[in-house]
Structures are given as C-alpha cells and as structure tokens.
Amino acid sequence: MTFGNRIPASAVAWTAIFWLAGLAPLQASDNSPTTRNCKMDPIKQSVCIYQAILEDVDKNYSQRGGGGIGRIVQNATTTYSVHLLQEGREDVRVYEVKIAENGKVTITNVTEKTVSH
C-alpha cells in the first residue's frame, strides 16, 4: 500500500494561507490596480502572476463565448499577453505587471487589441 498521494495537514494549512494572502487584495483592473502577494520561488511567483492575470480576465472580459483562453504568453519580464479565442478573431489583452522587492505584484496596465483571422 502506498500513501504517496496523501497530503500532510500542514501543507494544506500553508496552501490556504498563501491562497488567502494572494486572493484578498484583488480588484477590478478598470477601477484600481490589482495586487497580489507573490514573494515565492520563481515558479510559484509565475503561477501567482498568472493567477492575478486570470482573475482580471474573468472579472473584466465580457465576451463570455468563443473558445476561451487560447494561450498566455510572457512577452517580457513584466509583460504578458492573454489570447482569447473568438469567431474570426483573437482578443489579446496585454498585461503589464510590477513586481516589488517584497514580492507584491501589481497589474499596472491592461490594453486590448484584436488579431483578425
């Protein structure tokens, strides 16, 4: 018998703390900057940034049909593009983020453009 898939209770607790710490400050990008505490190792920090971007897409992108998110690309250290698939076009939301030394990530700018097909 293996217990390889069991998750220790302490890990669950830490995950919950990280999740709560990151989720709480999120706000709509149209109104004020979205911030998220992402002081972690590089992988976790990337995940945290992507989660902040995804949260913003979910909150502020109203075209709920289509093929969903086709891809998210990191264009530069602090710039990401989210490609949302629609009939005949891709809506591309370009995110600029600021990563503070303490790990706090802020979405500083969101622009949208269209790639026609």
Partner 1 sequence: MKSKLSFKHFDAELNTDVCDAYNNAELTLTLKMGFRQINPAGGAAEGTYNDYGDATAPARKIIKWTDASWKAWKANFVKSAESFWHGKFWLINDAGAYSFAQAGEVYYPNVWCRFKLIGNDATAAGNHHTIDVVRLHASESWFGSHSTLYDSKDTNLNQKKTDSKGKAVMQRAHVHEVGHLLGLDHVDVGKPHCLPTTDTNASACYGIADVDMRSVMGSGMELREAFAYPWREALRAFTAAELLMSILNSPPGVASTVKALIAAAGGGPPQSLQIPVVLLTSVWPAKMKRHYPRTADEIKAGKMIVSWPARRVA
Judged by beta carbon, residue 36 or residue 93, the one nearer partner 1 is 93
- For residue 33, state whether it binds partner 1 (rule: CB under 8 A): no
Judged by beta carbon, residue 66 or residue 103, the one nearer partner 1 is 66
From 18-26, 31-39, 79-87, 97-105, span contacting partner 1 (CB under 8 A): 79-87
- DSSP bridge pairs for 104: 37
3-state secondary structure of 61: coil
At 34, give phi and psi (nearest 5°): -85, 130
Classify residue 58 by burial, with Cβ atoms within 10 Å: 0-12, 13-18, 19+: exposed
Q: Map residues 95-114 to x or -, x wherever contact with partner 1 holds by CB under 8 A.
A: -----------------xxx
Q: Are 87 and 64 in contact, with CB atoms under 8 Å apart?
A: no
- For residue 64, state whether it binds partner 1 (rule: CB under 8 A): yes
Smallest separation, CB 59 to partner 1 (Å): 12
Encoded amino acid at 104, one letter: K
Judged by beta carbon, residue 10 or residue 116, the one nearer partner 1 is 116
Q: What is the distance between the alpha carbons of residues 68 and 70, in angstroms, rounded to a whole number? A: 6
Where does this chain bind partner 1 (CB under 8 A)?
62-68, 70, 85-89, 91, 112-114, 116-117
